[in-house]
């Protein structure tokens, strides 16, 4: 069996129905690249019934554009680091992928470290790249103004812009909604840029680079966070309900930052500020984290295709009560490519980042047991989805079949049949996307 046989694309559908099917089979992560590729008059990201943002296509969507979307969408296509970016001296770990350097790291300035989600590595890199004029701008995400629980794409050209976007957005975030216009703009102005997004965003952008050579020409590097998945809008809503907070009255929501992880801070229209600790919000062992189905079958939460990936460094994956109050914040930096290494070395040299001790993939397994477990079980989960006759992402160079073979038969059967049953029970289904805007 190869990955292609697991795809299960349904034939005989019109192009707009094929796009709907990606949503209906719970594979859409809401990155928005399909809107940018098809044009907003043909595909538009909109708020839908389940509280997420989904693409709504009209009958003008051509088969050629839909084929291109299928080859780019991180719901249907996920690949590891492009071969041309793997150096002879790169190391390879079956769980953590290709790496050149792996070490503890944090932003040099205490204020940046404090403001950011973990230790400010991603913010520190963005600041370095802009202030050293290595790039003209950084495309990443900040808190959405219209939907305060969401993130939205933003372009940073100054220190102030970068700092304004620091912190993790755990709500839906269509970071790639305008990527084609961003490339048009960069090309016209002879600008280069760097990209920071989730591993899904990086997958989509790497896939899109195969169709549009400007990605590799103009985007000098792609950075990501190690990502266990975002909070499904229904999960946020039920948390707010238990706290008697009306989602419609929320005016701002900061998930993390101002410490590591820092408080989750929610402001409401009546001027009240509600603060929760990380463990209040996510639960002990992240048990309150309600993941969308797509995140439960994620084949790449570790940013396999990024130049640099940054993660948290708490043993066991969550802070203790003591850590959530006192941790200054330190990232693990997984440096995968020669460009990633150059950027990190230069940012350290220029005193934007501070390098700590070296790490090993075993340390990463200790910090991220949920990522290791998911990487090891995802192929069995794919098989369960396939058996239930739903679409499965086409994957390549993510080592997930190799890891599947390292598991016991019993482990794989449990994962496969559990997923199959959940699919058959309708837990991997979403309604055909319809805008809730009237
Ligand atoms: C959905 C989600 C799940 C995560 N799961 C894990 C996990 O399982 N394990 C783990 O170790 N860490 C996880 N993190 C990452 C962690 O919260 C930190 O983001 C990471 O350690 C980088 O920290 P930092 O201090 O360098 O980030 P910062 O310096 O605060 O910079 C964050 C950067 O990421 C960008 N950004 C934030 N959210 C988004 C988004 N949703 N889409 C696109 N760009 C965004 C911002 O624009 C900013 O440039 C997750 C983050 C997210 C958003």
- CA-to-CA dists, residue 206 to 78, 131, 194, angstroms: 9, 26, 13
Residue 145 CB: number of other CB atoms within 10 A? 10
| 146 Cβ contact partners less than 8 Å away, ≥ 6 residues apart | 152
Is ligand 1 within 6 A of the CB of residue 318? no
* Owner of token pair 């990955």: 3
Task: Please tell me the predicted confidence (pLDDT) of residue 129.
Answer: 99
Specify the residue for token string 């050149």.
100
Closest protein CA for atom 12 of ligand 1? 311
Position 4 scores a pLDDT of 39
pLDDT score for 3: 47
pLDDT in tens, 86-109: 999 999 999 999 999 999 999 999
Would the pTM count as exceeding 0.95?
A: yes
What's the confidence (pLDDT) of residue 436? 87
Model confidence over 125-159: pLDDT tens digits? 999 999 999 999 999 999 999 999 999 999 999 99
Return the bridge partners of 394, or none.
77
Q: With a 6 A CB cut-off, is 151 part of the ligand 1 pocket?
A: yes
Does the C-beta of 204 come closer than 6 Å to ligand 1? no
Helix extents (H) in 197-318: 199-209, 214-218, 233-242, 278-282, 293-296
The Å distance, Cα 58 to ligand 1 centre, comes to: 33
The pLDDT value recorded for residue 290 is 87
- Please answer whether residues 104 and 356 qualify as being in contact, where contact means their C-beta atoms are separated by less than 8 angstroms: yes
- Asked if pLDDT for residue 2 goes beyond 70, the answer is no
Spacing, Cα 107 to ligand 1 middle (Å): 14
**Tokens 């020669």, residue?**
338
6 pLDDT band, cuts 50/70/90, is low
Asked whether residue 9 carries a pLDDT value surpassing 90, the answer given is no
Neighbours of 308 (CB within 10 A): 28
d(CA 43, CA 122): 31
Q: What is the largest CA-CA distance in the chain?
A: 58
37 C-alpha vs ligand 1 centroid, how far in Å?
25
Please tell me the distance between residue 392's alpha carbon and the centre of ligand 1 in angstroms.
Answer: 26
User: Residue 222 — pLDDT band, cuts 50, 70, 90?
Assistant: very high
Rg value, the chain, Cα: 20
CA angle 352, 354, 356 (to 5 degrees): 160
User: Which domains does the chain show, CATH number per domain?
Assistant: 83-231+290-369 (3.40.640)
């Amino acid at each position: 069996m190869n990955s292609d046989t697991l795809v299960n694309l349904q034939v005989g559908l019109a192009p707009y129905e094929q796009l709907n099917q990606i949503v209906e089979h719970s594979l859409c992560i809401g990155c928005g690249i399909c809107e940018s590729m098809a044009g907003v008059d043909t595909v538009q990201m909109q708020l839908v019934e389940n509280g997420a943002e989904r693409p709504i296509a009209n009958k003008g969507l051509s088969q050629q554009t839909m084929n291109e979307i299928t080859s780019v969408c991180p719901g249907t296509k996920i690949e590891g680091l492009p071969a041309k970016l793997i150096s002879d001296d790169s190391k390879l770990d079956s769980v953590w992928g290709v790496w050149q350097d792996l070490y503890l790291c944090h932003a040099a300035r205490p204020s940046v470290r404090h403001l950011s989600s973990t230790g400010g590595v991603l913010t520190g890199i963005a600041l370095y790249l802009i202030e050293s004029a290595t790039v003209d701008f950084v495309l990443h995400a900040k808190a959405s103004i219209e939907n305060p629980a969401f993130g939205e794409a933003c372009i940073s050209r100054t220190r102030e812009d970068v700092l304004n976007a620091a912190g993790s957005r755990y709500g839906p975030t269509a970071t790639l909604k305008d990527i084609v216009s961003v490339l048009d703009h960069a090309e016209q102005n002879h600008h280069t840029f760097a990209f920071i997004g989730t591993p899904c965003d990086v997958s989509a952008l790497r896939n899109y680079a195969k169709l549009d050579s400007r990605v590799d020409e103009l985007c000098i590097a792609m950075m990501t966070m190690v990502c266990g998945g975002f909070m499904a809008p229904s999960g946020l809503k039920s948390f707010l309900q238990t706290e008697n907070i009306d989602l419609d009255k929320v005016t701002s929501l900061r998930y993390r930052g101002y410490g590591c992880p820092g408080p989750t801070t929610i402001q409401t229209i009546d001027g009240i500020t509600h603060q929760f600790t990380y463990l209040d919000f996510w639960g002990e062992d992240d048990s309150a984290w309600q993941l969308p189905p797509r995140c439960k079958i994620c084949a790449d939460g570790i940013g396999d295709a990024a130049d640099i990936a940054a993660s948290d460094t708490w043993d066991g994956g969550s802070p203790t009560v003591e850590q959530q109050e006192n941790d200054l914040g330190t990232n693990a930096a997984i440096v995968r490519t020669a460009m990633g290494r150059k950027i990190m070395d230069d940012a350290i040299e220029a005193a934007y980042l501070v390098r700590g001790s070296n790490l090993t993939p075993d340390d990463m397994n200790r910090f991220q047991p949920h990522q290791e477990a998911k990487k090891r079980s995802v192929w069995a989960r794919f098989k369960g989805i396939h058996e239930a006759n739903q679409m499965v992402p086409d994957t390549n160079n993510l080592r997930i079949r190799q890891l599947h073979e390292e598991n016991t038969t019993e482990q794989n059967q449990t994962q496969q049949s559990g997923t199959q049953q959940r699919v058959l029970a309708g837990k991997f289904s979403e309604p055909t996307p319809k805008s809730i805007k009237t």
